[in-house]
Amino acid sequence: MITVGLVQADIKAHNKAGNLAHYEEWLTEAIQEPIHLLVFPEMFHCGFSPDIRQEAEPHNGNGIYFLYMMAYKFQCDVVATLPILYNNILYNRLVWLSRDRILGAYDKHHLFMGEEEFFTAGTEKTIVNTLGYKFLPLICFDVRFPEWSRNRVNGGRFDYDCLLYTANFPQPRESELLTLARARAIENQSYALVVNRVGTDGYQRRYAGGTAIINPHGEIEAQTSSDKEEILIHSCDFDSIKALRESFPISKFWQ
């Protein structure tokens, strides 16, 4: 079993220091049991705003340092996305780290309309092998593109066991996020972890959560409320994935 903590946060615009301080206090109080994986929403400490380039930081910035602090504090892997500036190029970068090192990084490939004004799209997917399983971390708008989430089988081995979507999916399309993620889980015989935010961003767009854990049958095993900050803690039976793949071997039809 893998116990995950999905952080559905109200990210305040133009207040990185305040957001980080809030996370530290909130998580210290809320997480009272061992967890294996802690996941924050997209742009976890700044949110989206017209000033997003001013929020950017290098890989040795305060955002990454804070994530290491959380990994050490809770003795778990930690995942978040943030604006990373590298060689004067800005990326919407997902970082997956343990207590002592970065296990993987992924630059958002499918930039939402307007994001291309600030960010450069990534070109490669990243599989993270950790906690005894393989994960495919993706970001928000990526969920609409099934080919980008496509699982593959090589020599009887699946590319991944769990999809992970960190998101800033706005309120009008909240239901679409979970509908799409459920489809991705079913068609890839994979768990899907979806982490969205609440509150209002720097563009005054509202968000209504939708943070959820979806099993390979497309069933929602656990879900947050839609209108408040919440940490969803749930244990996922990843061992059940193997039984499903053996009893319903649709992967033999995958190209």
For residue 96, CA distances in Å to 6, 40, 99, 105, 135 come to 14, 11, 10, 6, 10
Q: Which residues of the chain have pLDDT under 70?
A: 255
Nearest to 78 by CA among 46, 47, 50, 102: 102
pLDDT at 127: 98
Structural tokens at position 222: 């656990």
The per-residue pLDDT for 226 is 80
pLDDT for residue 243: 87
Measured CA to CA in angstroms, residue 181 lies from 75, 162, 224, 250 at distances of 28, 11, 15, 19
Cα-Cα-Cα-Cα dihedral sign, residues 43, 47, 50, 52: negative
pLDDT given at position 255: 60
Q: What's the confidence (pLDDT) of residue 189?
A: 96
1-16 pLDDT, tens per residue?
999 999 999 999 999 9
Task: Quote the pLDDT of residue 5.
Answer: 98
Cα–Cα distance measured from residue 201 to residue 18, given in angstroms and rounded to the nearest whole number: 15
